[in-house]
Structure formats: structure tokens, C-alpha cells
């Protein structure tokens, strides 16, 4: 089978190459899936150079999420049959023609989604769901400011926040990305995500500030967000795409009455398995009912993995980049 193989941790994905590997056999409780599409996520890129908290043993195949068809069942597996259309997640391994995962890692693919869309929504919308509903406890009519709104997780958050009845301010760094946000999801406002957004947000919210702020950027964006958040607001820390991990003087959340909440959707599910299952069921239901619409920026053949990785690193992607296998 074709697979992207990481044989050495190196900068610029220098240890990655396409390889021809044996098709793996499923063990007890496992299912082999013929992968049709796999999503590209930042953790995949970081893992190729050993810069992510999870460090798989070399060699390994990256890829957190996939869509495909059940191909073979291991001993003791019930509820699945060859040919079933499924979506699933694993901490790595999806960028290959076949992947073997525990049967519990699979869900039925929403019928209305094609392979590419089905591979595009799991990670992004799960993060958005945990951020907005579990950590942010967003309510209908509240103002939600989404930074990095054109990225995979940011775009999912814009879409989900609208589905939950919030009023959405989408912040993006370029005019082209802002135009795409208007075209795809029509948030209540689209603003420049560069420094100086504080007064714009205050103006849009009648001086009150945003009730919930979704921040995958960090750095200066986080600093300024503390100055345009509402009393009782929730500032959600998703990541630090800017490269700088910010700090906050605790007198600010004290005086302004806001909370700073860290969001790790996968860890949330591991620590609270029952709630984790509810989270996944919720986004699958929304997808099946067409209440959310995952957006695929482009779908490239697995052989073009390097172009897909580069587009993500250069912040050129609006939505999700997909590899077809």
C-alpha cells in the first residue's frame, strides 16, 4: 500500500517520503479501513519534526482523521461489515491507503457528506464544540469573536457558533480570507485580525465587548483580546499560532470579571469519556442534519502531500486541506 512514512525527525519534513508498505492485518477488536480521504492538521506537521507533545516511535505514518470503507474485521468485532462507510480518528496513521484502528474509533459516515467533507470535520468541529459549549458555555445571542477564523478550526467555530445562535465576529488576516468568510458563512461581522481590533469589537458590541473569544493565535492577539472582552466573558485559549505564548496579569481578569480557559478537545474526551462520547455524537448529528457545513479548501492526491503541508504552513488554507488516497 502507499503511505507517507516518517523515518526521521527533521525540519521541513525532510524525513518524510512516500513508501510502499505491507497492508496491515487487524488484530482482536480492530478494523482495517480502506482510506479514501485524510485531513491534514497542524499536529501532523509538528510530529514530522518531533515538535508535538505526542512523539510516535519511528518510523510512523502521520494523519489524525480519515474517511473510508471497512475492509476487514479482527476477531471479536461486531456491528461493522466490509463496505461500511466510516469516519474515524487515530493519533496517527491516516495518510495511507489502509489503516488499522480499534473498532471503537469508528463512526458511521454521515450520508450527506462526501469522502472529502467527511474527513474534514471531525477534529475541527470537535474542537469548536468543546470550546464553545463545554468551556465557553455560549448562549444564543451572545457575541463570539473568532480569531484565525479562516483556518480549519476557526472556520468550523464560525459555522458552529452561528448554528448555536450566537452573533459572530470573524477575524482574519487578509482581505481575500475575509471575503471567503462572507461568502461561505456570512457571520455578523468580518474584521481585520491585525492589531487595532479592540475598538472595532467594542463598537460592534455597543461598548460591551465580546462574551466569548476563541483564540488559536496567542501573542499580541491574546493581549488585545483582554481589552475587548465583556464582563463575565470567557477567553478560550486554543493555541499559539503566532509563536508567542502570552501572559496575563491576574488583576485584569479580576477587575474585568472574565475567565481564561484552556481548550484541549481530545484531552477533555479522555478525562471525561461519557462527555467525550456526547461531544462526538453532537457534531455527527449536526453534520447529518446539515446544520454545519465543513469546507474543504482543496483535495490533493497523497503523492502531493508536500504541497498540502506547505499550504497549511503558509496560512494559505481556508477551511481544511485534504489528501485523497
Do 88 and 147 fall into the same domain? no
What pLDDT is stored for residue 20 in this prediction? 97
What pLDDT is stored for residue 173 in this prediction? 86
For residue 167, what is the domain's CATH number? 3.40.50.720
Do 83 and 207 fall into the same domain? no
Do 190 and 254 fall into the same domain? yes
Stretches in the chain below the pLDDT threshold 50: none
Residues 3, 189: Cα–Cα separation, whole Å: 42
Do 41 and 134 fall into the same domain? no
Q: What is the DSSP string of 120-134?
A: TSHHHHHHHHIIIII
What pLDDT is stored for residue 241 in this prediction? 85
Going by C-alpha positions, the residue among 153, 191, 157 that lies closest to residue 174 is 191
Residue ranges of E strands in 41-128: 65-73, 85-89, 98-102, 106-108
Do 9 and 54 fall into the same domain? yes
Average pLDDT, the chain: 95
User: Which ranges in 150-256 belong to alpha helices (H)?
Assistant: 152-163, 175-185, 198-204, 219-225, 251-256
Going by C-alpha positions, the residue among 55, 128, 104 that lies closest to residue 279 is 128
For residue 10, what is the domain's CATH number? 3.90.180.10
Residues 154, 151: Cα–Cα separation, whole Å: 5
Q: Is residue 287 part of a domain?
A: no
Q: Is residue 179 part of a domain?
A: yes
What sign has the CA pseudo-torsion 224, 227, 230, 235? Answer: positive
Within 13 A of 106's CA, how many CA atoms are on the CB side? 29
Question: 168 is in which domain, residue-wise?
Answer: 123-267
What pLDDT is stored for residue 53 in this prediction? 83
Residues 97, 303: Cα–Cα separation, whole Å: 12
Give me the number of domains the chain comprises: 2
Q: Is residue 67 part of a domain?
A: yes
Q: What is the dihedral of CA 249, 250, 251, 254, to 10 degrees?
A: 150
Omega before residue 59 within 30° of 0, cis: yes
Amino acid at each position: 500500500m502507499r503511505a507517507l512514512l516518517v523515518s526521521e525527525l527533521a525540519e521541513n519534513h525532510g524525513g518524510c517520503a512516500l513508501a510502499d508498505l505491507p497492508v496491515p492485518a487487524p488484530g482482536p477488536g480492530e478494523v482495517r479501513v480502506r482510506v479514501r480521504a485524510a485531513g491534514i492538521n497542524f499536529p501532523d506537521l509538528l510530529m514530522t519534526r518531533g515538535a508535538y507533545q505526542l512523539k510516535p516511535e519511528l518510523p510512523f505514518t502521520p494523519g489524525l482523521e480519515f474517511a473510508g470503507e471497512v475492509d476487514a474485521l479482527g476477531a471479536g468485532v461486531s456491528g461493522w461489515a466490509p463496505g461500511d462507510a466510516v469516519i474515524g480518528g487515530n493519533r496517527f496513521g491516516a495518510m495511507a491507503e489502509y489503516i488499522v484502528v480499534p473498532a471503537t474509533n469508528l463512526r458511521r459516515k454521515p450520508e450527506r457528506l462526501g469522502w472529502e467533507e467527511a474527513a474534514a470535520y471531525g477534529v475541527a468541529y470537535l474542537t469548536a464544540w468543546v470550546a464553545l459549549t463545554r468551556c465557553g458555555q455560549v448562549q444564543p445571542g451572545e457575541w463570539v469573536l473568532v480569531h484565525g477564523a479562516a483556518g480549519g478550526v476557526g472556520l468550523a467555530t464560525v459555522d458552529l457558533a452561528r448554528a448555536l445562535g450566537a452573533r459572530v465576529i470573524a477575524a482574519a488576516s487578509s482581505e481575500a480570507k475575509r471575503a471567503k468568510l462572507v461568502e461561505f458563512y456570512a457571520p455578523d461581522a468580518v474584521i481585520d485580525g491585525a492589531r487595532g481590533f479592540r475598538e472595532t469589537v467594542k463598537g460592534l458590541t455597543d461598548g460591551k465587548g465580546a462574551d466569548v473569544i476563541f483564540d488559536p493565535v496567542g501573542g499580541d492577539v491574546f493581549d488585545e483580546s483582554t481589552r475587548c472582552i465583556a464582563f463575565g466573558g470567557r477567553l478560550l485559549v486554543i493555541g499559539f499560532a503566532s509563536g508567542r505564548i502570552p501572559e496575563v496579569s491576574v488583576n485584569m481578569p479580576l477587575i474585568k470579571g472574565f475567565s481564561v480557559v484552556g481548550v484541549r478537545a481530545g484531552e477533555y474526551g479522555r478525562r471525561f469519556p461519557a462527555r467525550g462520547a456526547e461531544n462526538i455524537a453532537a457534531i455527527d448529528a449536526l453534520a447529518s442534519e446539515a446544520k454545519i457545513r465543513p469546507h474543504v479548501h482543496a483535495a490533493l492526491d497523497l503523492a502531493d502531500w508536500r504541497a498540502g503541508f506547505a499550504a497549511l504552513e503558509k496560512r494559505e488554507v481556508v477551511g481544511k486541506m485534504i489528501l485523497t488516497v
